[in-house]
Amino acid sequence: MPAAMVRIWLKWEMACPMSEYCELINPQTMTATLLKGGEVVTQYKVERCDNCETLQRLDEFGYQKHLSGIKILWFCGACR
């Protein structure tokens, strides 16, 4: 594991109670990691909602498309 990654991981562990579910979002890679008891349960992509500007789990249904099919905006579940 590269040194930078170890540092991030250590920071995550400190922010994360060992016995509980914990969602960690890395804004650099736009990836969320779900941990339980310090173990990785799953990882998924996140996206910034263009309405409320929070980072939320990405799903394809949130894309607001132009008539030509180009994705112009993404809205989270609460904003659709």
Confirm or reject binding of residue 76 to Zn ion (CB under 5 A).
yes
3-state helix, strand, coil in the chain (%, to 5): 25, 40, 35
- Give the shortest CB-65-to-Zn ion separation in angstroms: 17
Residue 35 lies near Zn ion (rule: CB under 5 A): no
Window 41 to 70, contacts with Zn ion (CB under 5 A): 49, 51-52
Of residues 10, 31, 61, 4, the one with CA closest to residue 23: 31
Asked if 79 touches Zn ion (CB under 5 A), the answer is yes
> Does residue 73 touch Zn ion according to CB under 5 A?
no
Residue 21, H or E segment:
strand 21-26
Nearer to Zn ion, 40 or 78 (CB): 78
* Number of residues near Zn ion (by CB under 5 A): 5
Angstrom distance (rounded) from CA 73 to CA 38: 34
- Pair of tokens at residue 51: 């309405």
Interacting residues with Zn ion (CB under 5 A): 49, 51-52, 76, 79
